[in-house]
């Protein structure tokens, strides 16, 4: 009885061990089965049954391959003789590829059996097939793209080139082409090679770099180079690869160039929009150069170190993820373009336009998120620049129209005005000087002369005349203008003060144009002091230029008008007093003389105009 109890206990322990072993084998991801010498299936674990069904007690070839005879890949005899091996087999029944490991095993009853372990490598084989196809596609594109494609060392030797590159440079074969020295035999100007290397190793890429190459016969060919750096596993530059486009076919090749850029797989880093990606835990895994520029973080500072929530205001990142998983906006996995706020490294809030998508793995599981955005600041600046350009265009059209109008009006009025002037001169000779009518004629003639001067200004604006320039004394011209207007200024209760530097040199200028400029300065000063004041005119040397300043104590100029007072048609006067051409014409005269006009003013504090002119070298 005691021996029987011990035997029962042993059987129970053995059953327990068998149960535990079976449980472990069923938990494995690999398929396991055992067959006897006559090919009968003795054991199959759970995953094997899932693939092929429960075949225990059946012939293995019936279970595995649905055949009455042995499987074409069967090596059971060799395995039972002591061989072991691992090989790949394709099983049509389940349309899977397995890595099969086989070995002989001794059963408890002393008989031999074969143990087979199946590992499903279908996905791996599919990826390998896709990779192989990609490599073949790469070679096909490389050889057949219609632009020159190359791979070279840093030292100046070609490692590979397509036939288009060989033919473009006039070589008879690729073997001949690969032997050339890049610096000596390819570049028309060797310094272009050094410039190219400096740019590409600084930026990692060169886009549309124009350079002159040499064909085999020595003739020059203009080429646009687009290349990027090749690194070794330690990040060291070992060479370059890219495309060369004959510039004479540039427009025809633009589409090919874009395709070549895709082929180079440099889209992410060279994209002008910010691109970032993060894993499902929110760790940033992609951060391109545009994102560095826009948000201030370098890729080194964020990849694997910064959480994606840090670049959004609080809670916004989780809101984006919620939309990505919702079917309501654009569908599951899509975040349609919409404005989003971002937080720069310096804490500044900027507004961008975000588009995002969920990335899935081969099994359809969420793997990461990727987003691209554009800083709207640049767009706003562009819109402002466009608006300014449109205003300038309208302004130019207005100037052109005004020029034509003033030219026509001036020419039409000049002849009758000179006729009136001549008539008045004749009438003056008929009237004694002391006669009251003589004074009326003088007044009329003076107004006609003033009108003629006004027409002269209009003609100067529409087509400035080329005045003869010669060495002149600005003190003399300014003094003459003040003497002529002294009586008029006194009538307006304006006091004239002068402070001329008697030792200043002469300037090379047109006397008539300087008179017109100084006259305009005096006239503006008078209008700026309707209740009287003081006009101070001074001359002095400063930084090698002759300067003459007209300073009044008038109403001054508003800050918003200071930058516009020299613009054509801008005026603060009534339409009766002017159309805004005086200072514009004066500014043009002084600039034509190589000088400048500066203004300093504030409301209620008067205005000071300083005219600077270069010293005459004659």
DSSP secondary structure of 275-332: EEEEETT-BEEEE-HHHHHHH---HHHHTTTSBGGGGSSTTHHHHHHHHHT-SSSSST
Q: What is the mean pLDDT of residues 426-439?
A: 76
The 8 Å CB, 24+ separation contacts for 233-242 are: 237/154, 237/201, 238/153, 238/154, 239/151, 239/152, 239/153, 239/154, 239/159, 240/151, 240/152, 240/154, 240/200, 241/149, 241/150, 241/151, 241/152, 242/149, 242/150, 242/206
Q: Which two tokens stand for residue 549?
A: 């300043």
How far is 211 from 217, CA to CA, in rounded Å?
A: 18
The CATH fold of domain 276-379: Beta-Lactamase (3.30.450)
Is pTM, for the whole model, over 0.75? no
Distance CA 193, CA 153 (A): 13
Q: Specify the range with the lowest mean pLDDT, choosing from 213-217, 465-469, 494-498.
A: 465-469
Instruction: Please state which CATH number belongs to domain 470-614.
Output: 3.30.565.10
CATH superfamily of 2-120: PAS domain (3.30.450.20)
CA-closest candidate to residue 576, choices 527, 609, 512:
527
DSSP label at residue 366 = E
- Taking residues 205-233, report their average pLDDT: 90
Domain 128-269 CATH assignment equals 3.30.450.20: yes
CATH of domain 381-462: 1.10.287.130
Please tell me if the domain spanning 128-269 has the same topology as the one spanning 381-462: no
According to the model, what pLDDT value does residue 444 have?
78
pLDDT at 229: 92
Domain boundaries defined on the chain:
2-120, 128-269, 276-379, 381-462, 470-614
**Looking up tokens 């008008």, which residue turns up?**
561
* Helix residue ranges per DSSP H, 434-581: 436-462, 474-491, 511-528, 559-562
- 517 contacts 478 by C-beta, under 8 angstroms: no
Q: For residue range 258-313, what is the model confidence (pLDDT) as tens digits? A: 565 455 446 777 778 888 888 888 898 888 888 888 888 988 888 888 888 888 88
User: Which pLDDT band, with edges at 50, 70 and 90, does 153 fall under?
Assistant: very high
The more confident residue out of 11 and 530 is 530
Helix, strand, coil share (%) of the chain residues, nearest 5: 45, 30, 30
């Amino acid at each position: 009885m005691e021996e029987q109890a011990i035997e029962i206990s042993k059987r129970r322990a053995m059953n327990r061990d068998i149960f535990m072993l079976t449980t472990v084998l069923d938990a494995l991801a690999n398929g396991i089965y055992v067959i006897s010498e006559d090919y009968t299936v003795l054991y199959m674990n759970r995953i094997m049954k899932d693939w092929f069904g429960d075949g225990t007690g059946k012939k293995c070839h019936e279970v595995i391959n649905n055949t009455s005879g042995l499987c074409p890949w069967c090596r059971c005899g060799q395995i039972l003789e002591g061989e072991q091996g691992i090989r790949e087999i394709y099983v049509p029944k389940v349309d899977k590829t397995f890595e099969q490991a086989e070995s002989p095993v001794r059963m408890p009853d002393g008989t031999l059996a074969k143990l087979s372990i199946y590992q499903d490598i279908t996905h791996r084989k599919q990826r390998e097939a896709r990779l192989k196809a990609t490599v073949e596609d790469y070679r096909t594109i490389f050889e057949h793209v219609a632009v020159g494609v190359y791979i070279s060392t840093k030292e100046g030797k070609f490692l590979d080139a397509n036939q288009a590159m060989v033919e473009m440079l006039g070589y008879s074969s690729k073997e001949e082409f690969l032997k050339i020295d890049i610096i000596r035999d390819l570049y028309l100007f060797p310094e272009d090679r050094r410039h190219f290397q400096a740019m590409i190793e600084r930026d990692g890429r060169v886009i549309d770099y124009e350079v002159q190459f040499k064909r085999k016969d020595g003739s020059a060919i203009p080429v646009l180079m687009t290349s990027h750096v090749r690194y070794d596993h330690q990040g060291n530059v070992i060479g370059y690869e890219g495309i060369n486009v004959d510039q004479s076919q540039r427009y025809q090749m633009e589409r090919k160039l874009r395709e070549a850029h895709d082929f180079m797989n440099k889209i992410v880093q060279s994209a002008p929009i910010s691109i970032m990606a993060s894993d499902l835990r929110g760790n940033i895994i992609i951060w391109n150069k545009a994102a560095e520029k826009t948000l201030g973080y370098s890729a080194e500072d964020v990849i694997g170190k910064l959480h994606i929530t840090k670049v959004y205001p609080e809670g916004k990142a989780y809101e984006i993820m919620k939309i990505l998983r919702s079917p309501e906006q654009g569908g599951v996995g899509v975040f349609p373009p919409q404005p989003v706020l971002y937080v720069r490294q310096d804490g500044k809030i900027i507004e961008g336009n975000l588009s995002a998508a969920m990335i899935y793995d081969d099994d359809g599981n969420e793997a990461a998120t990727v987003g691209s955005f554009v800083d709207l600041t640049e767009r706003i600046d562009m819109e402002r620049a466009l608006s300014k350009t449109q205003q300038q265009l309208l302004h130019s059209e207005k100037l052109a129209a005004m020029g034509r109008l003033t030219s026509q009006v001036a020419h039409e009025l000049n002849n009758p005005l000179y006729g009136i002037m001549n008539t008045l001169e004749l009438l003056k000779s008929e009237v004694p000087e002391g006669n009251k009518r003589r004074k009326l004629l003088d007044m009329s003639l003076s107004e006609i002369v003033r009108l003629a001067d006004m027409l002269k200004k209009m003609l100067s604006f529409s087509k400035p005349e080329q005045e003869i320039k010669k060495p002149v004394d600005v003190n003399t011209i300014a003094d003459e203008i003040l003497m002529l207007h002294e009586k008029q200024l006194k009538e307006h209760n304006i006091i004239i003060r002068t402070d001329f530097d008697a030792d200043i040199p002469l300037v090379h200028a047109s006397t008539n144009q300087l008179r017109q400029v100084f006259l305009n300065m005096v006239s503006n000063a008078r209008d700026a002091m309707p209740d009287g004041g003081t006009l101070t005119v001074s001359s002095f040397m400063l930084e090698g230029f002759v300067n003459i300043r007209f300073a009044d104590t008038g109403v001054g100029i508003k800050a918003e008008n200071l930058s516009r007072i020299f613009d054509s048609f801008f005026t603060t006067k009534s339409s009766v007093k002017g159309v805004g051409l005086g200072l514009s014409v004066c500014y043009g005269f002084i600039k034509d003389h190589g000088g400048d006009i500066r203004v300093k003013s504030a409301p209620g504090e008067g205005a000071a105009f300083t005219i600077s002119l270069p010293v005459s070298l004659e």
